[in-house]
Chain A
Amino acid sequence: MTITEPKPSYKYVGTRLVRPDGLEKVTGRARFAADLNIAGQLHAVVVRSPHAHARIVSIDTSAAEAMPGVKSVITGDDFPAVDSSHRQYDMCVNVIARDKVFYEGHAVAAVAAATLKQAQAAAAAVKVDYEVLPAVLTIDEALADNAPVLHSHMLTRGAEPPAEAASNVAAVTRFSGGNIEAGFAEADIVIEREFSTKPVHQGYIEPHACVADTGQDGYATIWCSSQGHFNVRSSTATLLGWETTRIKVMPAEIGGGFGGKTTIYLEPLAVALSSQAGRPVKMVMTRSEVFRATGPSPSTKIRVKLGAKKDGTLIAGDAYLVYSNGAYAGAGGMLGAMTVFESYNIANFGVEALDVVMNTARSAAYRAPAAPLTAFATETVLDEIAEKLGIEAMELRLKNAVTEGDLSTMGFPLARIGFVECLEAIRSHPHFNAPLAPNQGRGLAAGYWFNIGESSSATVNLNEDGTATVVTGSPDIGGSRASMALMAAEELGIDPHDIRPVVGDTEAVGFTDVTEGSRATFATGMAVVQACRNMVVELRGRAAKMMEVEVDDINWVDGHAVYVGNGDSASGSSGDSAAKESLSLAAIARKAKRTGGPLTATGSLEAHGAGPAFAVHLCDVEVDPGTGVVRIVRYTAAQDAGTAIHPSYVEGQIQGGVAQGVGWALNEEYIYAPDGVMENPGFLDYRVPVASDLPMIDAVIVEVPNPAHPYGVRGVGEAGIVPPIPAVANAIHSATGCRIRDLPMSPVRVLEAITAGGASANGS
């Protein structure tokens, strides 16, 4: 670990606590959504469109309704109409189609029956009459002058002059700074390249699942796995046209999400079916449904042009980004625009980003959404500039890297960040100068993700025995219970084993936003710290009562209320040798009844100052010149975590991001037939990396504390997926002399490039 800034010494923060939920997970007892069964439950399946683009002429459910065991059948008509101007229109009509289907796998009806088999049989009996429409399956088709328009209401947002006719372009985003023409005119070298990428899936191992039970009183309970159960509640209520309070969502353990479970698919269908049938309804997606109907990443076409002076100073940058978000408007292009030039000081720049739609599944967030693809472009063009100027790739990045106070693409100054420190951590790593074998190459790349804050709540309850229960609203997707326990232990001054971190349902804890933007340990951690600090204020008051002294004479030190006398500082930050008396947290908790009742404190906040995360990766590949197969032989990843609350899970986030990025670089892609049917909706043909595809991944934690967080945390979940694609691409170039700019860099593509003698598919 590299620690680059002095920080306070902590007793618990930074230790490797065995995660509180671990025992349940290694013994098979943890309850994920599909593990739940409720007495009397029905099983439901979704009827999905076989067409990529079609008008629904009619749906006849009568035969299905008459089949054995069938208790309810629903279609889009069973939900309130939703206007295209509604903020959540896309989500609503994605969950169940109304007049049109926009991709193969789009839900058109759902059937609940006593058994799964009966439900499947009845689903097959739902007759849907489609008028098949021409499908738009590529970005070029979507942008063509005569393209079929998916949504008649889609007027390009941000267009100048304002759009008057509907098109497949949902939005245009532009950022610029300086004078781009003058900048390029000043440049000694200008390189412009085009890139293309395919949709890839988040690939969480747990398919979406839920159980919903609508009671006689019209109130519904949903058990499901998600990245945010408050969002499941509000989105489900929106779709049903219900008040939010009619729905309670119980968070099950979540089997991976990576952004893909920040939205909903099944829950409103299950509630509607349950309401109709008067029975609980369970729904579990198949893997094929997960691939065909839940959020992949966008696909892209990206053009990046960079100009530099002879000494390597970047002076101008121009980017044109097109992100297809699948069937509905999304934000891929906008996020791409926010990330494409963010890591470097480029005085003169322009970015234009288009968000377009086409007849593929609606994209969802995938770990640092959009950023891996802009990094692919920028970081490989940078590599080429370094090569042509004869400057080391590392030196070029150090020369241009953003630091504190530099302006972001959107014009605000960056707070303290650790980009340079990450570059230096890689430069001083033994990997950096290690020898390479024949056919091997080494690639360097950097990545940026801005991270977000949003709303979080926490409740701390002290129990009679001096233990504490910490309730938050953030699902534990990768060890966050452990980090909540460590931060609470540090604040309260008690052993983390005496703290029970709990993920509360939507009625057990205050509103908490979705776990996204690497925000859980940052923002929900802040809420926990706030709740604990409120608790310490209360504990000092209770101790003052018990000791019969003024509260200002009590400090909180290492889990004890310590009398310091003379109205000394009540900061609680240090002990006092003059202490006359001390009461432990447990002693105060035991007497709570006599000093004012139960000890409960809450923290609720809108977290600001999520520190941007930077990552720098170094990758060695070996390329088989006869087959084009690329093997990752060594990988080192440095990332600024601010402060690593639990180093093992920080390393785990980095390593997981690398593995997903390597899969994206080398193997993964959605393959569509000419009619828009996905041809590889399973893990056999959509191949994610397995253990034998990867080496150990050396995760180097850099700690440049985030000034906005009480422990210096910056989110770590996402930045790790940003550099791998360009790191692998630059390594392949180092090994073969070939620049590959189209994903995935599969053996066929690599072999073609080698055979062509180093020229890439789109010329270099």
Chain B
Amino acid sequence: MSRVHVTCTINGDPVEFLCDGGQTLLDALRDEVGLTGAKEGCGTGDCGTCSVVMDGRLLCSCLVLAAEAEGSIVSTVEGMADGDDLHPLQQCFLEGAALQCGICTPGFLIAAKALLDRNPDPTETEVRYGLAGNLCRCTGYDKIVRSVMDAAKKINAGTGDHH
């Protein structure tokens, strides 16, 4: 079976890869492009661990075919920091102890960034519903929600200006 050639932009870089027609974007990112920040927790779109943003939309990369990424702009956790400067969400997750095992962290960071991009000053309830597509089994979500709200404050105060 011939492979599909895909050209797209990932984290600001032009990227080309070959994939199988049935291969998911998640598998292509991990196995063809070498970006393993997005994880497979379920493969059925239920856990959010594989969250990426494609053309401005937050989605589960396990539910998207890699071939659909042709011509698109994809953001993954690997692109969140600006060199050594962490995104305020990353910084707040670290300082707020918002991760225990860390497997869900990339997906939460991507989902939280997508939330703050469309709602820069969310209430606690809005954060909770905004992140309801992402499972964390370690933290009980308390410190994740607090860290996202702290990051929003930081960004809005201009102290965490980024991107």
- Residues from 63 to 112 in B contacting A, C-beta threshold 8 Å: 76-78, 80-81, 86, 90, 93-97, 99-106, 109
Q: Is A26 an interface residue (CB 8 A)?
A: yes
A653 — which chain B residues lie within 8 A by C-beta? 100
Please determine whether B35 and A28 come into contact, CB atoms closer than 8 angstroms.
yes
CA distance A653 to B137 in the complex (A): 11
Chain A residue numbers with a CB within 8 Å of B139 are 652, 655-656, 659
Which one, A34, A37, A205, A655, contacts B142 given CB within 8 A?
Answer: A655
Q: Which residue of B lies closest to A662 (CB)?
A: B140
Please tell me if the beta carbons of B101 and A22 are within 8 angstroms of each other in the complex.
Answer: no
Are A26 and B145 interface neighbours, CB within 8 A?
Answer: no
Cross-chain contact B101 with A254 (CB below 8 angstroms): yes
Tell whether A317 is near chain B: CB-to-CB under 8 Å: no
B94 near A23 with CB under 8 A, answer yes
Residue of chain A at shortest CB distance from B87: A26
Q: Given the complex, which residues of A lie within 8 Å of B105, measured CB to CB?
A: 25-26
| Pairwise interchain contact A691-B132, C-beta atoms closer than 8 A | yes
Main secondary structure of the interface of A (DSSP, over half): loop
Complex interface: chain B residues within 8 A of A29 (CB): 37, 78
CA distance A660 to B139 in the complex (A): 9
Instruction: Decide: B138 and A478 in contact? CB cutoff 8 A.
Output: yes
A185 within 8 A of partner (CB): no
Tell me whether A204 and B101 are in contact in the complex, defined as CB-CB below 8 angstroms, given that A652-B138, A656-B140 are known contacts: yes
Query: Which residue in A25, A648, A683 is a CB contact (below 8 Å) of B46?
Result: A683
Question: Beyond A648-B143, A655-B139, is A682–B46 a contact (Cβ under 8 Å)?
Answer: yes
Task: Point out the residue from B43, B76, B95, B100 that lies within 8 Å of A18, measured CB to CB.
Answer: B95
Q: How far is the CA of A656 from the CA of B140 in the complex (A)?
A: 4
Q: Does A19 contact B (CB under 8 A)?
A: yes
Q: How large is the interface on A (under 10, 10 to 19, 20 to 34, 35 or more residues)?
A: 35 or more
> A482: nearest residue on chain B (CB-CB)?
B97
Encode A690-702 as 1/0 by CB contact (under 8 A) with B: 1110101101000
B131 to chain A, nearest CB (A): 5
Complex: how many Å from CA A658 to CA B30?
33
Asked if A207 lies at the interface with its beta carbon under 8 angstroms from chain B, I say: yes
CA distance A682 to B30 in the complex (A): 22
Say whether A19 contacts B97, CB under 8 Å: yes
Nearest residue (CB) in A for B99 is A25
Asked whether A287 and B41 contact (CB < 8 A) given A28-B35, A256-B101, the answer is yes
Given A28-B35, A32-B39, CB of A18 within 8 Å of CB of B94: yes
A27 pairs with B80, CB closer than 8 A: yes
- A720 smallest CB distance to B (angstroms): 9
B128 proximal to A (CB < 8 A): yes
Q: How far is the CB of B95 from chain A (nearest CB, A)?
A: 6
- Once A and B bind, how many residue pairs between them come within 8 Å at the CB atom? 183
Residues in B with CB closer than 8 Å to A19 are 94, 97
Q: How far is the CB of A228 from chain B (nearest CB, A)?
A: 15
Residues of A671-707 at the interface with B, using a CB-CB cut-off of 8 Å, are 682-684, 688-692, 694, 696-697, 699
> How far, in whole Å, are A267 and B105 apart by their CA atoms in the complex?
26
What chain A residues lie within 8 Å of B24 (beta carbons)?
A: none
A479 within 8 A of B: yes
Scan A226-240; emit 1 where CB is below 8 A from any B CB, else 0.
000000000000000
The answer on a CB contact under 8 Å between A207 and B40 is yes
* Nearest opposing residue in chain A for B92, CB measure: A26
- Tell me if A550 counts as interface (CB < 8 A to partner B): no
- Among A6-53, those with CB < 8 Å from B are 16, 18-19, 21-23, 25-32, 34-35, 37
Q: Within the complex, what minimum Cβ distance (angstroms) separates B148 from chain A?
A: 10
User: Are A655 and B137 within 8 A (Cβ)?
Assistant: no
Q: Is the CB of B36 within 8 A of A28?
A: yes
Known interface pairs A682-B46, A690-B135, A692-B128; A28-B76 also in contact (CB < 8 Å): yes
Most buried by A among B86, B101, B132, B134: B101
CB distance A26 to B97 under 8 Å? no
Is there a chain A Cβ closer than 8 Å to B28's Cβ?
A: no
Q: Is the CB of B81 within 8 A of A691?
A: no
Whether B129 pairs with A659 at a CB distance below 8 angstroms is no
Q: Are A205 and B100 touching (Cβ within 8 A)?
A: no
Contact A691 B97 (CB under 8 A): no
Question: Given known contacts A26-B94, A27-B37, what 14 new A-B pairs fall within 8 Å (CB)?
Answer: A22-B99, A28-B36, A205-B135, A253-B103, A286-B43, A287-B43, A655-B141, A656-B139, A682-B42, A684-B46, A690-B135, A691-B131, A691-B134, A697-B142
The 25 listed contacts between A and B (C-beta, < 8 Å) are A16-B97, A26-B99, A27-B77, A27-B90, A28-B36, A29-B37, A34-B39, A204-B103, A205-B103, A205-B136, A253-B102, A287-B43, A478-B138, A655-B139, A656-B138, A659-B141, A682-B46, A683-B41, A683-B44, A683-B47, A691-B141, A691-B145, A692-B132, A696-B124, A696-B146
